[in-house]
Structure 1
Amino acid sequence: MDGLMNIVQGILGVGASVMLPIIIFIVGLVFRVPPKKAIISGITVGIGMIGINLVINLLTTSVGPAAQAMVARFGLNLTIIDAGWPAVAAGTWAQPIAAVMIPVILIVNLIMLAMNWTKTLNIDIWNYWHMSAAAATGYIVTKNFIFGIFCGIIYTVIVQIVADKTAPKMQEYYGLEGVSFTTGSAQGYALIGIPIGWVVDKIPGINKLDVKPETIQKRFGIFGEPMIMGIIIGAFLGILGGYDFAGILQIGMTMGGVMFLMPRMVKILMEGLIPIQESAQKMLQKRYGDREIYLGMDAALATGAPAALATGLLMVPITLFIAVILPGNRVLPFGDLATIPFFAALVVPSRKGNILHSVISLTVVITLALLMATNFAPVLTQMANGIVEFPKGAAEISNLDTGGNILNWIFLKLAELYNMVF
């Protein structure tokens, strides 16, 4: 088991920018892409991922301090700290069951593809940790290794199905042909956010408000440009954080840069994926007729759309406000605040890019997510204890990505039910 864990950690340790080109090259050869073209595609995807990660790091290092400043300024005092997805991911990979789940997830995916139960080939191995987290939760709560594997398998099946079902609207809105999102957190938020968005669209008055980047740009001219929207939202976060004038300008320009650069980084990555997707479609059409195949990718690709980024950034102060006033919540949002645009990845297309409807939908989801994250805290604390350094003053940790994810929370409840029955 230790040897398998070392292999898994070694693969994950080199990072997406190194492993993803190798995976794309191999997938390209499987789908009969000429080797030279497959190499170029893989390298292009890797470069696109480097660019996306650079912009995400820029986003995180700007929003994180702003959120911390808001917490300090408004005197928020909650006993469970949102340690962010990296802490929970590290705790997940440290569990012995996680190493076993890597090949299990891949095998389940391949079986489903062979049986035509899914259209998605999930090549986003870094986000396999969401499925592994469900397995680790089942194992930690029940102490039953087999039950933990069962949880991970069922989670994998759900991820494949949700990826398929959400792909058409997602592809149409983001222009990501042949791609589906297999990120567990984006899917979990979508499972609640999409139905809520449908209800929001039926509310008289609100359903007439069309707040899309395109309509904002048409009505307000230069102030509707994505980069200007980023500057305005960034400045708003700086004001809430109590920044001085220079600090407000700096975070404003940074968010404007994020809104401008991210679509271009996603475009580079998609240039590498297109030859693979086209060859896969041709091969499948010859063998299966009209059958489609999607490449399962990280929901980070959604941040190339101004509506998704704007929705996520606007949700930062809203999430902090909800945390303060929500009865029963003990989670102080922090580590995953910069990850909220990923949570919006599948909600925004369902609302056709309407930022207002997306924000209202996610406000309801975040309210429920904070309560789930509070309930999940003891298990996530146990999972990460001794593996990661807890934030200062944290008696317990949780996060929005996993603890506030309805998919992971359901498996927590299933594990607790198993203990009651057996």
Structure 2
Amino acid sequence: MDAIFDLIKEVFTPVLDMGGPVIMLIILTVLALLFGVKFSKALEGGIKLAIALTGIGAIIGMLNTAFSASLAKFVENTGIQLSITDVGWAPLATITWGSAWTLYFLLIMLIVNIVMLAMKKTDTLDVDIFDIWHLSITGLLIKWYADNNGVSQGVSLFIATAAIVLVGVLKIINSDLMKPTFDDLLNAPSSSPMTSTHMNYMMNPVIMVLDKIFEKFFPGLDKYDFDAAKLNKKIGFWGSKFFIGFILGIVIGIMGTPHPIAGVEDADKWRLVIRGWLSLGLTAGVSLELFSLIGSWFIAAVEPLSQGITNVATKRLQGRKFNIGLDWPFIAGRAEIWACANVLAPIMLIEAVLLSKV
């Protein structure tokens, strides 16, 4: 068994090392070709998707670089000492993809997805292969715990596989249920194939329950509309993406400044401080605008595949519609995501501070 996994890993490792965008370029291009799309159109869609993913990653990197320094200054200014650093998802994904068991879990979920499609238990074809690491890390932790607590190798693998299949089926079903919501958020027609099997959206059932609770006990909250597009129509640029980002950037900049501002005694130093605030504001503003622009690239990227699927479904499957499960960034054009992220960043920092005192 180990020899088989080593061989599979040796074959796939060079591809996996290319990163998520390149993997998705290959997958989308090959998938479009399988559905009868011309090579030039299939390749065009694959490249557009890879560019969109690369663009989203670049902007997130820019935001992390700009804001992490300010938040680090906040920690320094307040004298708070937290001994554990959350390094984000990237190192964890790298470690997970380094295990041959990830390829095994990927194969299992491909089979499960195909069976669900054949049995008409889902209309979603999950092509977000890179993010199989979300499921894989769960399986690896379960297997590691079982192996270290006297459970035999075969039983621990069975338990881990069962857990992966259970969560995997739920996330695929969830992507079907979320499809109309994604269409609404993107102003896309129902014929659009885009949905997401990303694990983040598994929180939606919980959010829906909380929404019902808020409607019941806090009905006044529904009077406030935080939809950026609607705000923009009502109050002009005050509700625009770039202005929301601009203000949030300045607020985060102020958080990273000592209060009272130590050593700022003359006009030149004040100008430097204010320039730093405005720079963060402009960085956040341009980021929200670029997120919206790049979000539209995802729609263009899947158009060739969408047409190919429609043609095949019409000819051979009595017009059955299929959805394509993508990574989460196809919805990144919504400014509310980044406004919430920027608001939640300092809140989570405060939570970390409070929990460290418990």
TM-score, normalised via structure 1 length:
0.72
Identity of aligned residues (%): 26
In structure 2, the residue matched to 1:251 is 280
In structure 2, the partner of 1:74 is 78
Report the CA distance between 1:71 and its aligned residue: 2.5
Shift in Å, 1:87 = 2.5
Equivalent residue runs for 1:353-392 within 5 Å: none
Give the Å deviation of 1:318. Answer: 1.4
2:294 pairs, out of 259, 265, 270, with: 265
- In 1: Cα distance, 2:71 partner to 2:212 partner: 30
Q: 1:145 aligns with which of 148, 157, 165?
A: 157
Of the three residues 255, 258, 263, the one matched with 1:240 is 255
Q: CA contact under 8 A between 1:182 and 1:296: conserved in structure 2? A: yes
The answer for the alignment partner of 1:199 in structure 2 is 213
- 218 and 263 in structure 1: CA distance in 2 versus 1, 3 angstrom threshold: closer
**Structure 2 alignment gaps of length 5 or more:** 148-155, 259-272
Distance 1:142 1:256, change over 3 A: same
Q: Which moved further from structure 2: 137-146 or 236-245?
A: 236-245
Mark the CA change 1:76 to 1:95 in structure 2 (over 3 Å): closer, same or farther.
farther
User: Cα offset for 1:290?
Assistant: 4.6
- Mapped to 2, the partners of 1:198 and 1:24 lie a distance apart of 38
Q: In the alignment, is residue 172 of structure 1 matched against residue 201 of structure 2?
A: no
How far did 1:328 drift?
8.7
Residues 276/96 of structure 1: CA separation in 2 closer, same or farther (3 Å cut): closer
Deviation at 1:79, TM superposition (A): 4.3
Q: 2:247–2:281: 8 Å Cα contact kept in structure 1?
A: yes
> For residue 242 of structure 1, what is the amino acid of its counterpart?
T
Q: Distance in 2 between matches of 1:262 and 1:93?
A: 27
Report the 3-state secondary structure (helix = DSSP H, G, I; strand = E; otherwise coil) of the residue aligned with 1:304. coil
From 10, 14, 31, the counterpart of 1:6: 10
Instruction: Verify the 8 A CA contact 2:171 2:202 in the aligned structure 1.
Output: no
Cα pair distance change 1:87/1:111, threshold 3 Å? same
Could you say which residue in structure 2 is the equivalent of 1:52? 56
Q: Give how far 1:305 is off.
A: 0.8
**How much does 1:13 deviate?**
1.0
Deviations 1:178-211 (A, max 9, x none): 1111111x12332322321332234122121122
CA displacement at 1:84 relative to structure 2: 1.4
Matching residue's letter, 1:217: N
1:23 correspondence with 2:27: yes
Alignment of 1:265-414 (within 5 A): 265-326=294-355
- Give the Cα–Cα distance (whole angstroms) in 2 for the partners of residues 97 and 210 of structure 1: 46
Assess, with a 3 A threshold, how the Cα gap between structure 1 residues 272 and 148 changes in structure 2: closer, same or farther: same
Corresponding position of 2:150: none
Alignment partners' CA distance in 2, 1:265 and 1:200: 33
Name the structure 2 match of 1:38: 42
The 8 Å contact of residues 193 and 306 in structure 2, kept in 1 or not, is answered as yes
- AA at the equivalent of 1:288: L
Q: Which has the larger radius of gyration?
A: 2
Q: Alpha-carbon deviations, 1:356-410, whole Å to 9, x = none?
A: xxxxxxxxxxxxxxxxxxxxxxxxxxxxxxxxxxxxxxxxxxxxxxxxxxxxxxx
> Contact (CA 8 Å) 1:46, 1:269: kept in 2 or not?
no
8 Å CA contact 1:18–1:46 kept in 2: the answer is: yes
Q: Kindly report the root-mean-square deviation, in angstroms, between the aligned alpha carbons of the 2 structures.
A: 2.2
Size of the alignment, in residue pairs? 328
List per-residue Cα deviations over 1:41-98 (Å, max 9, x = no partner): 2222222222222222222222322332233233333444323112322332234422
Task: Please say if residues 234 and 251 of structure 1, whose CA atoms lie closer than 8 Å, have aligned partners that are also in contact.
Answer: yes
2-structure distance, mates of 1:119, 1:146: 27
Contact 2:102 2:132 in 1 (8 A): no
> Would you say the 8 A contact 1:123–1:295 is kept in 2?
yes
Corresponding residue to 2:105 among 101, 104, 107 = 101
Deviations 1:259-318 (A, max 9, x none): 111111121232121121122123223333353211111112222111111111111111
CA distance in 1: counterparts of 2:343 and 2:168, whole angstroms = 31
Q: What are the ranges of 5 or more consecutive residues in structure 1 without an aligned counterpart?
A: 330-422
Separation (CA, whole Å) in 2 of partners of 1:114 and 1:227:
45
